[in-house]
Amino acid sequence: MGRVVKRAFRYRFYPSDAQAAELARTFGCVRKVYNLALAARTEAWTVRQERVSYNATSAWLTGWKKNDELAYLNEVSSVPLQQALRHLQAAFVSFWSKRARYPTFKSKRTSRRSAEYTPSAFRYRNGQLTLAKMFEPLAIVWSRPLPVGASPSTVTVSQDAAGRWFVSLRCEDVIPETTVTGAVGIDAGLDSLLVLSTGEKVTNPRHERHDREALVRAQRNLSRKAKGSNNRAKARLKVARVHVRIADRRRDQLHKLTTRLVRENQTLVIEDLTVRNLVKNRRLARAISDAAWRQFRTMLEYKSNWHDRNLIIVDRFPSSKLCSACGALVEKMPPHVREWICRCGTHHDRDLNAARSILAEGLSVAACGAGVRPHGRTPARGSRC
């Protein structure tokens, strides 16, 4: 037996010209409907102090389709349009719950191009996926098999900035139960991407720095092209390809790293890093963004949930200056000091000591129930035991 979870399996596919044209029309209609609904809901609130529900926006969609200027909305499947309204409703719920900012309009140039289909708008049979308004199945590269007997609940089609097409199938999967007893503290950094309380240091690959020269050349070439020209479009595509290569390598490394940590340990403790504030440091912003601490935490959270692991997120504290042996706190420690000796005589590696302090802090506050933020909930502040 194992845990049944919902997982998304992402594959690349190569559409025909007709399929690409149909998907491009769908992306445009999804963006249009989302923006129309957002504008109408914003006006309803600012003018009449009225909160609009999903059902009301769905009724608006029916009226928009009868408008001669928006008649083209009838040319695509109605399901992705309804899903766009559901996504807008979810965005407002997050805003009302103070988990996110106010929803913003989708841009043709910068917003993600995607459309979501429910089972009524696609057919999945014998390993072939056919979307509504299409006569042929998508040419998908099945890089890994779907779970045996899987029946996708939703299908999301997207196109990235480099022009690559992807399809994501969300279905149930069984995660085998494994029994492990290890506990590890994890300190995120820049010299080393991660330092574990076990003594292991994970090298920071610095993906963006390795491709920076190629990125600079591509961006310089883009700046020389006339706006609106075909050559500028080609140059923009080259810049996007460098960016996606960096992102793909970073994501692949983080997936392998987080999977290993979750499989080897029952309890994982990390520090709550406010990345949004840290990147305000102009000298370190690029390096911090390249390290992708937030992405690492997100992966660790959902994989810990899949495998029934204990992920403890402690509030920030002076972990580097706190002796993991005796608990003494050093008043000052400049960033260039990488090793130090405590008054108890213990010789510390700065980052390793921080990882061990984080582990001790997480285990202690987990037992006391103070200062812990499991899976992003608001911490209960209080003194330690």
Contact 285, 293 (CB under 8 A): no
**pLDDT digit string, tens, across residues 110-134:** 889 999 999 999 999 988 999 999 9
Closest by Cα among 136, 140, 134, 164 to 152 = 140
Contacts of 24 (CB under 8 A, 6+ apart): none
Catalytic residue among 22, 116, 173, 351: 351
187 is an active site residue: yes
Q: Return the bridge partners of 271, or none.
A: 314
pLDDT band for 383, please (50, 70, 90 cuts).
very low
The rounded distance, in Å, linking the Cα atoms of 340 and 349 is 7
384 has pLDDT over 70: no
Q: Return the bridge partners of 103, or none.
A: none
**pLDDT digit string, tens, across residues 297-351:** 999 999 999 999 999 999 888 888 888 888 778 878 777 777 878 878 788 888 8
Percent of the chain with pLDDT over 70: 95
208 has pLDDT over 60: yes
pLDDT band for 279, please (50, 70, 90 cuts).
confident
351 is an active site residue: yes
pLDDT band for 370, please (50, 70, 90 cuts).
low
C-alpha radius of gyration, the chain, whole number = 25
**pLDDT digit string, tens, across residues 151-174:** 999 999 999 999 999 999 999 999
| Average pLDDT score over the chain | 89
Give the residue with greater pLDDT, 139 vs 150.
Answer: 139
Chain position carrying tokens 């996926």 = 129
Contacts of 259 (CB under 8 A, 6+ apart): 303
pLDDT band for 369, please (50, 70, 90 cuts).
low
Distance from the Cα of residue 298 to its chain's centroid: 7
pLDDT band for 93, please (50, 70, 90 cuts).
very high
177 is an active site residue: no
Chain position carrying tokens 């479009």 = 233
374 has pLDDT over 50: no
Closest by Cα among 106, 108, 110 to 243 = 110
Catalytic residue among 22, 173, 187, 208: 187
Under CATH, to which class is 183-376 assigned? alpha beta
Catalytic residue among 271, 290, 301, 361: 271
pTM for the predicted model, two decimal places: 0.85
The rounded distance, in Å, linking the Cα atoms of 305 and 163 is 33
Supply the pLDDT for residue 150: 86
Contact 371, 380 (CB under 8 A): yes
Name the residue ranges covered by the structural domains of the chain.
2-176, 183-376
**pLDDT digit string, tens, across residues 8-51:** 999 999 999 999 999 999 999 999 999 999 999 999 988 888 88
Strand 267-271 to 310-314 pairing: parallel
